[in-house]
Amino acid sequence: MLTRIDHIGIACSNLDATVEFYRATYGFEVFHTEVNEEQGVREAMLKINGTSDGGASYLQLLEPTREDSAVGKWLAKNGEGVHHIAFGTADVDGDAEAIRGKGVRVLYDEPRIGSMGSRITFLHPKDCHGVLTELVTSAEPPADHSSAEH
Ligand code: V0V
Ligand code: CO
């Protein structure tokens, strides 16, 4: 069952400048940063609020590490902006299979590693009324809340 908004993914061309905008304008601080080479992103998670199911809600600021990555291609075509939404669930495997059974394309056969040790998969935007949709099961307990890049 999808129980919360885990994050909203925002594509940006300069992560440091975008982080500074969110800090200076709204007061959101960086909760965690990492590079995910498989996904081709350098990212900053800004925690918006905690939730009762052990997860939380974040903004995920994404800078591409390569032009041919999902975010790199999207930025070249659209410029900066909202790239995807992510729903939190305790069971990404079960929910992905159930959604696949409804005829929605799930992009991965098995969930992959996402931010902070989470397990993630994506639904094709063309099957979701134009919205790239991610499903996330957070690591338990959340893996690393430092701001160190690794
Ligand atoms: C592409 N399209 C989108 C879209 N990206 N529509 C809405 N939102 C997006 N973000 C549309 C695009 O305009 C095209 O429509 C069509 O889909 C095909 O796009 P394309 O440019 O030809 O690109 P593809 O097909 O090579 O790749 C699109 C997909 C790709 C969605 C398959 O972006 C993907 O695999 N995404 C999942 C991985 C990902 O996004 N990783 C980055 C975040 P028209 O022009 O044909 O009408 S990593 C992350 O979130 C992490 C690590 C985390 O949360 O922990
Ligand atoms: Co994401």
In a domain, 146, yes or no: no
Contact 83, 132 (CB under 8 A): yes
Domain CATH for 14 = 3.10.180.10
Closest residue CA from atom 50 of ligand 1: 9
In a domain, 106, yes or no: yes
Q: In the predicted model, is pLDDT for residue 147 greater than 50?
A: no
Instruction: Please identify which residue in the block is written with the tokens 């929605």.
Output: 104
Pick the catalytic residue from 32, 39, 60, 83: 60
The pLDDT score that the predictor gives to residue 53 is 61
Residue ranges around ligand 1 (CB below 6 Å): 9, 36, 39, 41, 60, 62, 70-71, 73-74, 83-84, 86, 107, 114-115, 118, 120, 122, 124-126, 130, 132, 134
Closest residue CA from atom 2 of ligand 1: 125
In a domain, 150, yes or no: no
Contact 135, 119 (CB under 8 A): no
Mean pLDDT of the 50-60 span? 80
Cα dist from 94 to 82, 85, 98, 111, whole Å: 27, 19, 6, 11
Beta strands in the chain (DSSP E): 2-11, 30-36, 41-50, 56-64, 81-89, 112-113, 119-123, 133-137
In a domain, 131, yes or no: yes
Cα angle for residues 139, 17, 20 (degrees, 5° grid): 70
Q: In the predicted model, is pLDDT for residue 142 greater than 80?
A: no
pTM for this predicted structure: 0.94
In a domain, 26, yes or no: yes
The amino acid sitting at 70 is: A
Domain residue limits at 131: 2-137
In a domain, 8, yes or no: yes
In a domain, 93, yes or no: yes
What is the total count of domains within the chain? 1
